[in-house]
């Protein structure tokens, strides 16, 4: 692949439009420049809650001039002081100028102290900042006993396309991968089928079912020394192109920050070679992921949440992960809603709240998240909800997969006719065998019918 094609691919990857819309610093600034002050003020407020210093500074300016909010020097002073807490260079000096221009000094101080209770660095760090900025991708280790490598699509290889697929799946008590869902893929749909075809052939060493395993699989075509020569020859052209993406990230484009963090998370991309020429610090990928999360990009918030919640992070980081999970779920990211529902349903957790779990599973199911719908049905059955409340969900799920073993088992469990229940259970067992899934739960139910 020649260098010009590589640059074109990199450009496409970093500016590709996302179906997820969020208020990041860049879009809020555009709204401000367009004099859409109310929208800008609301967006900056959202970002301030995430600890975004630039947003706080902008809120101070808007409060000072009455743009999108009633003019208030005490609030302007408070926002400038808060921005200085988060490292804004000029904020504290500007705050002092505002303080000197107002007669009631105590009113200024009172406003700052009041807003500190919500927006201060100490409050925000406790809620949202990991204790260590390195990405904690330490899921509980599992031994993989069967594996086939996802196929690199011929057309993608020919074009030199690289990318990733972020998948989530369950593992049944026999170690088989089940219930695969795709959280994100890039370029869209290019590599997705390869992962969907490969994962059902993976097996793990486990005797108990595991819910919601997360995997990001990278498809790379790194060319080593051959690429180094091309890179050296085209260095100036590369610098012009990459500057656009650096600028977008520094201007607070959360989507670009997220995609760059994904490229930087692997050393094997051709794109990584380009990007790491500028982002040389260790763990730059995690720093950009956090920046994207603070810019309110839900995929970054969910990625950060899962990295903190998976494995044996500290209690503090577990709390931070849960808070980021809430942020992503509240922006209607179905995968985050599903994960949040599962979290509330774990009776080993301090925040155990079954009603909240059902609520978030329902929201995810309404967003067409299949695994959430399957889990919701099981929880409603366990809670002995009326059958008429369960059947619409069951019929909806069966319309997507009418031979799904678990759904057929649920349907047999809801049947009041023993012969029909037995027939459905046997159908569920046959389907499970054809997919090489565990039949333990189905066999137990069939035995109870005898």
Answer whether residue 177 shows pLDDT above 60: yes
Predicted local distance difference test score (pLDDT) of residue 15: 40
pLDDT band for position 21 (cuts 50, 70, 90): very low
Say which range, 50-64, 183-197, 338-352, has the weakest mean pLDDT.
338-352
pLDDT band for position 4 (cuts 50, 70, 90): very low
Say which range, 319-333, 343-357, 371-385, has the weakest mean pLDDT.
343-357
Task: Tell me the domain boundaries of the chain.
Answer: 35-128
Q: According to the 3-state scheme, what is the secondary structure of the chain?
A: CCHHHHHHHHHHHHHCCCCCCCCCHHHHHHHHHCCCHHHHHHHHHHHHCCCCHHHHHHHHHHHHHCCCCCCCHHHHHHHHHHHHHCCCCCHHHHHHHHHHCCCCHHHHHHHHHHHHHHHCHHHHHHHHCCCCCCCCCCCCCCCEEECCCCCCCHHHHHHCCCEEEEEEEEECCCCEEEEEEEEEEECCCCCHHHHHHHHHHCEECCCCCEEEEEEEEEECCCCCHHHHHHHHHCHHHHHHHHHHHHHHHHCCCHHHHHHHHHHHCCCCCHHHHHHCCCCCCCCHHHHHHHHHHHCCCHHHHHHHHHHHHCCCCCHHHHHHHHHHHHHHHHCCCHHHHHHHHHHHCCCCCCCCCHHHHHHHHHHHHHCCCHHHHHHHHHHHHHCCCCHHHHHHHHHHHHHHCCCCHHHHHHHHHHCCCHHHHHHHHHHHHHHHHHCCCCCHHHHHHHHHHC
Answer whether residue 230 shows pLDDT above 60: no
Say which range, 236-245, 315-324, 427-436, has the weakest mean pLDDT.
236-245
pLDDT band for position 11 (cuts 50, 70, 90): very low
- In the chain, pLDDT over 90 holds for what percent of residues? 67
Q: Calculate the average pLDDT of the chain.
A: 87
Predicted local distance difference test score (pLDDT) of residue 240: 66
> What digits encode the pLDDT tens for the residues 300-313?
999 999 988 886 56
Predicted local distance difference test score (pLDDT) of residue 16: 37
Predicted local distance difference test score (pLDDT) of residue 20: 39
Answer whether residue 81 shows pLDDT above 90: yes
Say which range, 1-15, 22-36, 182-196, 198-212, has the weakest mean pLDDT.
1-15
Residue with the bigger pLDDT between 162 and 58: it is: 58
Mean pLDDT of 201-226: 83
């Amino acid at each position: 692949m020649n260098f010009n094609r590589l640059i074109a691919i990199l450009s496409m990857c970093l500016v590709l439009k996302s179906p997820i819309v969020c208020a990041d610093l860049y879009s809020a600034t555009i709204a401000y420049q367009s004099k859409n002050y109310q929208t800008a003020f609301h967006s900056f407020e959202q970002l301030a809650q995430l600890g975004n210093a630039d947003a706080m500074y902008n809120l101070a300016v808007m409060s000072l001039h009455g743009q999108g909010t009633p003019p208030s020097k005490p609030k302007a002073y408070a926002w400038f002081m808060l921005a200085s807490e988060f490292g804004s260079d000029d904020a504290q000096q500007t705050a002092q100028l505002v303080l000197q221009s107002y007669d009631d000094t105590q009113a200024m101080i009172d406003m700052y102290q009041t807003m500190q209770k919500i927006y201060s660095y100490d409050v925000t760090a406790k809620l949202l900042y990991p204790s260590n900025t390195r990405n904690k991708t330490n899921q509980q280790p599992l031994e993989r006993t069967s594996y086939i490598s996802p196929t690199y699509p011929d057309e993608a290889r020919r074009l030199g396309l690289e990318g990733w697929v972020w998948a989530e799946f369950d593992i049944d008590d026999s170690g088989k991968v089940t219930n695969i869902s795709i959280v994100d893929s890039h370029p869209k749909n290019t590599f997705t089928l390869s992962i969907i075809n490969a994962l059902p052939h993976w097996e793990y060493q486990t005797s108990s079912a595991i819910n919601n395993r997360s995997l990001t699989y990278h498809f790379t075509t790194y060319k080593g020394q051959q690429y180094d020569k091309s890179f050296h020859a085209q260095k100036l052209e590369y610098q012009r192109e990459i500057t656009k993406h650096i600028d977008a990230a520094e201007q607070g484009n959360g989507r670009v920050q997220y995609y760059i963090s994904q490229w930087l998370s692997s050393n094997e991309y051709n794109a990584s070679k380009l990007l790491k020429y500028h982002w040389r610090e260790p763990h730059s990928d995690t720093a950009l992921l956090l920046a994207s999360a603070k810019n309110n990009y839900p995929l970054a918030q969910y990625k950060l949440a899962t990295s903190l919640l998976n494995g044996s992070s500290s209690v503090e980081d577990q709390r931070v992960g849960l808070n980021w999970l809430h942020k992503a779920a509240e922006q209607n990211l179905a995968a985050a809603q599903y994960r949040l529902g599962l979290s509330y349903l774990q009776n080993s957790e301090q925040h155990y709240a079954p009603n909240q779990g059902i609520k978030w599973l329902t929201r995810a199911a309404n967003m067409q998240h299949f695994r959430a719908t399957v889990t919701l049905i099981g929880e409603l059955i366990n809670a002995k909800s009326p059958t008429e409340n369960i059947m619409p969900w069951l019929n909806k799920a069966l319309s997507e997969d009418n031979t799904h073993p678990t759904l057929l088992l649920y349907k047999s469990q809801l049947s009041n006719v023993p012969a029909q229940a037995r027939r459905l259970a046997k159908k569920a067992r046959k389907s499970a065998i054809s997919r090489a899934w565990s039949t333990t739960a189905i066999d137990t139910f069939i035995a109870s019918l005898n």
